[in-house]
Amino acid sequence: MDETVAEYIRRTVLKIPRDEIKSMLQTWGFLSETQLQTLNFHQTKDNISQDVVQLCEDNSADIKQAAVLDIIYNHIYPNKRIWSVYQMNKTGEETDFFDLTDFKKKFKRRLQSALKNVTINFREYEDNAIWIRIAWGTPYKKPNQYKTSYVVYHSQTPYVFISASVLRSTLPLLCQALVVASNYHDIREMELRSHCLNSLKDIAFKRYSQTFQTYYPRPLQERNVAPENVDLRIIQENRSEKERIQRVNREVFGDGPQPKLEFAQYKLETMFKSNPKMDVLDIKEPFRCLVKFSSPHLLESLKSLAPAGLADAPLSPLLTCIPQKARNYFKIRERKGFFPGSFVSP
């Protein structure tokens, strides 16, 4: 067995939490049940990984098989990577029939003809997702197994989720191969990124709880404005304002849990308008700034801003449009014309 394959398997095993190593190896299916029984999972991870490598040696594993283990790991821990959503477009009324074998063949051919050295693995999952792992090389260099790209493609949709390799130059070729293999015309990045692949799917497929109806059954309303203080000697003067904030917030964000995004970014090139009270000259040129929001759960924290008194209700559409527009990277310019207070995001 190739030394680089052995090292790759060893490192992959080291990434897996100890109590999950066994089940992942079972999913992998490369080692027999008898072989797995010889493994001692109570020793250090380092020793486990050595033993696994030894067994793989016996079975003379190659890089293709090692790569499958990496796919299994990434499928269980997609949050370790950052994912970006792409949308593909068709020009005319082409047939919608999708042939997996044909897709694989075309995809491979495209990359192999350009690079010669490239490791490509496919793995289908039950939710109709095809996981593709690509390790990139050049005509003169072996593929680098540690700088892989991952693609998750749902063939019945035009959306592709790509976790790009750090080798940025490979991205255009990857996109090209996807378009060709899936019979689309072009592909564009949607400017929607997150570690949470499932939330990206929820947003792209519009699966997240959309409770944007204006009518709410009564019990719901009562539940949300439960009396905060039982003592009648404490009187909330702003009770109705608080109720309004709750209502507006619910209209904007809905009732359900929010999809999980970790950041949003706005490049602003808008006019600086000072408050008349501030006595500052208006600056004629656009004021250039870059605003980044980051949170372990961005939309939930944005949702809690207005009720906490840290923001107006409703919150700015620039922030609340994230799930509907399916993007979290924006470039904002001043809208020309009649609405001085509004902005556009081209």
Partner 1 sequence: MAVVRPFDKLPALNSAAVLLVGSDESLQQKLAEAILKEKKNFKISIHLATSLPLPSERDHLRPRIDLIAFMIDIKSKYSLKNVEASLAHVDASFFLGKVCFLVTGVGRVNYCSVEMNAIWKLGEVYCSPVLYCELELEGIRVATAQRLLRMLQICAGHIPGVSALSFGLLMRNSADE
Partner 2 sequence: MESEARTLPSAGRLSGAARLSRGPLFGRAHGRFGPGSGGPLPPCSQENADPQKTAFLLRKQWALYSVTPLYKFSSGKLREYARLLGAFIAAERHKGLAVQVGVDLDIQVTFSSLPDLKGSEQDHAAMLVQLSSRSSVSPKNSEEKLMWSGWFCCVSGDDLSENVPEDFTCLPLFLANGAESYVAIVGSWFQKTFDCRFRRLAISPLNLTWMAAMWTGCKVEKNASATELVFSVPCLPQPLDISYAIHPEDAKALWDTVQKTPGEITQEEVDLFMDCLYSHFHRHFKIHLSATKLVKVSTAIASAHCDGIIKFLQSKYLIGVLMLLTELAISQIQ
263 beta partners: 294
Total residues in contact with partner 1, by rule CB under 8 A: 12
33 binds, among partner 2, partner 1, none (CB under 5 to 8 A by kind): none
* CA atoms within a 13 Å half-sphere pointing along the CA-CB vector of 247: 13
Kindly state whether residue 229 participates in binding partner 1, applying the rule CB under 8 A.
yes
Give 35-83 as a 3 state SS string: HHHHCCCCCCHHHHHHHHHHHHHHCCCCHHHHHHHHHHHHHHCHHHCCE
- Which position among 82, 171, 318, 321 is part of the footprint of partner 2 (CB under 8 A)? 318
- Which position among 173, 305, 321, 344 is part of the footprint of partner 2 (CB under 8 A)? 305
Residue 285: strand, helix, or coil: strand
| Angle made by CA atoms 103, 108, 112, in degrees to the nearest 5 | 155
CA distance 177 to 104: 10
- Burial class from Cβ neighbours inside 10 Å (0-12, 13-18, 19+) for residue 60 reads exposed
Kindly state whether residue 235 participates in binding partner 1, applying the rule CB under 8 A.
yes
Kindly state whether residue 297 participates in binding partner 2, applying the rule CB under 8 A.
yes
Contact call for residues 313 and 247 (beta carbons, < 8 A):
no
Total residues in contact with partner 2, by rule CB under 8 A: 44
Window of 98-106, 167-175, 236-244, 259-267 that interacts with partner 1 by CB under 8 A: 236-244
Kindly state whether residue 309 participates in binding partner 1, applying the rule CB under 8 A.
yes
Residue 230 vs 290, nearer CB to partner 1: 230
Binding site for partner 1 (CB under 8 A): 228-229, 231, 233-238, 240-241, 309
Binding site for partner 2 (CB under 8 A): 266, 268, 270, 272-275, 277-281, 283, 285, 287-298, 300-302, 304-305, 308-312, 314-316, 318-319, 332, 341, 343
